[in-house]
Structure 1
């Protein structure tokens, strides 16, 4: 039996229960399927066949989840950090035990190639271990000594929080958001993306298996217009963490205004990779290909604009075209697949619409630009490279969110900075040069929350992760996550030596 056949057989085994039973919610430590609830069909992008029915959450369902989180909060908040550390590390162990199941279910649910999803579960476990180990110190603050007073700060978990996660890498991003919230002492209500609900339910099951107390972890399925809206409005929810698109972030800000919700948004990007003449040619080429065509181009930090200096433009683009033509598009469970199907037919049609937009704008489709009809009924698009482009074109300004790269030439460092910054977004950027001074100047002037020099996206869990401009609000990672999920309290203690002002004596 080939690895592909083995993956397919195992995936069918793990997916059977989802196909046979309606996927409901997870509220107060238990599966919950409301009577007479409405459902929708969840499909796999590999061939658009059904993976089973999923409940459409109502406002009443969300209320139950929020009430459970609110009731469970005091005990979870007051649990010693060392105890939360043990529970969350045990949770990570359970993720590793079910890593193959998670990878196969995720791959079929969202279309990401199994070669990347195999790492997603392990990375999710690493997220939990990292924040679990920080749980005992989450409340720590700092001491600020003055001559006659000493100030010290402490942090306290803010309460139940809502976490809304996307469909592109749903499992890993859910762990990235939920782990610090739980480590901080918050309880959570999680709403997975309606297009990819299955691994969110696996996480909720693992929470129960790992001994997370009832009500600490709640998951509600459904659509943003109803379930998401109620979650962002509910008075028990003190903060909302979202990974999604800008329009959703704007809606949540409006919906949460009445209850003054704290928000943390990781939104879109049109991220530049800037390759100078003096760059390490082969390493830069590898990174350019990886950072747009891996994960089907459905990655917030993908470098979807290639800014290439004219001195090496012709050579670099010629090599790039060959690499893009050579990418292996195929079924997500095939271990040789490098680019899988896009998550949903609606998103597929959106991505395909940019082929005509590129032509209308005057760009050249150097590679790709068509549907891969030879691969069956799934949402397969040929990896695409646009050339002869400039930064005013829609293909350079709008987030396509697929395996599509727009190449734009430049001459000088100043031009590169101007083009890189000429966008509403500012999530990430990548700079390839062997000139250290230039790298430092670019790092200062490129408008982005994260920059990598001579590297692809390399995650360091303690480092801040987030964007500027329309790419988001706030930062994840290490202590930055705790700053979001916790309130900081200052305590000032007098030394008994200062003069107290006197009135009315």
Structure 2
């Protein structure tokens, strides 16, 4: 076990103290081996109540929300401390999340840690007050000042697929804005969050109660954040189905709700593109981290005249992407997070077969891997966009290839989805590319391989892919309220 975690189980962080859970401990497993690797504190309702109380008190009774320079220093201190523990965090992330070690050099760990510098800069340099000048409404000379202030207590609920990226994308801007936070991680990755809690408690000056981390085997414990009137904002990342429940639970208290939800994004290849090159990229990308990413492009739309060629290229690419040990530096496609998730993905493949789909490559568990929750990279052909596997988020290394009849038809197919999170367009003619990017209703789009992920760039979706934006200045401002002060004279 990492030196960040005690032998008898990872701790909760509540009111500045690392402590055991009221419901004992629960096991965390390695998805590549199915072995139990250790224990995490199992919080109960009393623990969650204590965390909310601590966050409320820290916001209401301390200078945290008003001392911008102190917050910037604490965030920078946290970034440096995390970088100092990066090897221990890497071990935990690979072991618990099944993340290929190569990804921890980027979006699974080192990238999100570095991104805290952007949040720290916002805390210190953001224009917290804006002078709107003098006006005379109803004949009264008035100077108007626009002030931005933190919302208050943030309930942050995060999934297991990118525990550090998503966790820091909430903690960084929420803290920079002056809020206090109760973080509820997924039961599948409690160590990832608990290790961060230990670093906050032992290596930073972040005051007690400002960050509280509550691990639990009970998915429903996070629901208490949605209903508690002491919590002012819910920031949730997860499935669209769960997002609906979070939004409904928050409705009675009318708390601000940010939702980053699912996707079924389209990778559009235009007929002037390098078909083989574009399709190879699409097939490769859906295998990364075993397809466990909400923004991955899992529908491949290709010109009908090039359909057979595209199927062959995609199949050849995915056939080479063998699921492997996430500790191997060459592994791109690791395990799925759990037996439940593996069985869910295999169930979708059975549905595809039942609906007339052709499994071109993959379609089951890989040979030679009797242990671990692995699924072969799988290409599904000969199904329309109305098929179940083209409509629903699978969260596995599964690509559905669909022919289109020109640019307008590709836009139509891409938009024929309840989701609108991400997408990709490959082509040559700038005007055609512009028309497609204007027509596709998604929150992010990559053109010819452009990377939209960055600390200063907002991320989020249209339609049932969510509400609000994460990262960038827009994501930071999700955690602010707007106050207008009008002074006569």
Same fold (TM over 0.5): yes
Aligned residue number for residue 83 of structure 2: 96
Aligned residue number for residue 144 of structure 1: 132
Matched, 1:169 2:169: no
Aligned residue number for residue 408 of structure 1: 402
Aligned residue number for residue 50 of structure 1: 36
| DSSP 3-state at the match of 1:434 | coil
Q: 1:132 aligns with which of 101, 120, 125?
A: 120
Q: What CA deviation, in whole Å up to 9, does each residue of 1:189-245 have, x standing for no partner?
A: 000000111110111111121221111110001145542121222222100101101
Matched, 1:25 2:12: yes
Aligned residue number for residue 225 of structure 2: 231
Instruction: Show the 5 A alignment for 1:64-463.
Output: 64-73=50-59, 74-119=61-106, 120-138=108-126, 140-145=128-133, 148=136, 149-208=142-201, 209-223=203-217, 225-281=219-275, 283-455=277-449, 457-463=451-457
Indicate if the aligned counterparts of 2:98 and 2:326 stay in contact, CA closer than 8 A: yes
- TM-score w.r.t. length of structure 1: 0.91
Q: What CA deviation, in whole Å up to 9, does each residue of 1:435-483 have, x standing for no partner?
A: 1111221122211111222125431322221111111011112221232
Aligned length: 481
Aligned residue number for residue 10 of structure 1: none
Partners of 1:380 and 1:58 in 2: how far apart? 32
Q: What CA deviation, in whole Å up to 9, does each residue of 1:333-366 have, x standing for no partner?
A: 1112111110000000000112211111111101
Indicate if the aligned counterparts of 2:280 and 2:317 stay in contact, CA closer than 8 A: no
| DSSP 3-state at the match of 1:26 | strand
Inter-CA distance 488–137: structure 2 relative to 1 (3 Å threshold): farther
Inter-CA distance 145–284: structure 2 relative to 1 (3 Å threshold): farther
Partners of 2:442 and 2:63 in 1: how far apart? 36
Q: State which drifts further: 61-70 or 449-458.
A: 449-458
Inter-CA distance 78–305: structure 2 relative to 1 (3 Å threshold): closer
TM-fit CA distance, 1:296: 1.2
| DSSP 3-state at the match of 1:52 | strand
Q: Which runs of 5+ in 1 are unaligned?
A: 1-12, 497-505
TM-fit CA distance, 1:141: 4.3
| DSSP 3-state at the match of 1:40 | strand
TM-fit CA distance, 1:285: 3.3
User: Over aligned residues, Cα RMSD in angstroms?
Assistant: 1.9
Inter-CA distance 385–33: structure 2 relative to 1 (3 Å threshold): same
Partners of 2:186 and 2:327 in 1: how far apart? 21
Q: What CA deviation, in whole Å up to 9, does each residue of 1:309-354 have, x standing for no partner?
A: 1233222322221111111321111112111110000000000112
Partners of 1:390 and 1:176 in 2: how far apart? 36
Indicate if the aligned counterparts of 1:95 and 1:121 stay in contact, CA closer than 8 A: no
Indicate if the aligned counterparts of 1:115 and 1:337 stay in contact, CA closer than 8 A: yes
| DSSP 3-state at the match of 2:96 | helix
Partners of 1:432 and 1:42 in 2: how far apart? 41
Partners of 1:269 and 1:66 in 2: how far apart? 31
TM-fit CA distance, 1:278: 1.0
Q: What CA deviation, in whole Å up to 9, does each residue of 1:123-151 have, x standing for no partner?
A: 12222111001102345243334654543
Q: Which runs of 5+ in 2 are unaligned?
A: 137-141
Aligned residue number for residue 475 of structure 1: 469
Aligned residue number for residue 7 of structure 1: none
- TM-score w.r.t. length of structure 2: 0.94
Partners of 1:261 and 1:201 in 2: how far apart? 27
TM-fit CA distance, 1:286: 4.4
Aligned residue number for residue 499 of structure 1: none
Partners of 1:259 and 1:220 in 2: how far apart? 22
TM-fit CA distance, 1:34: 4.1
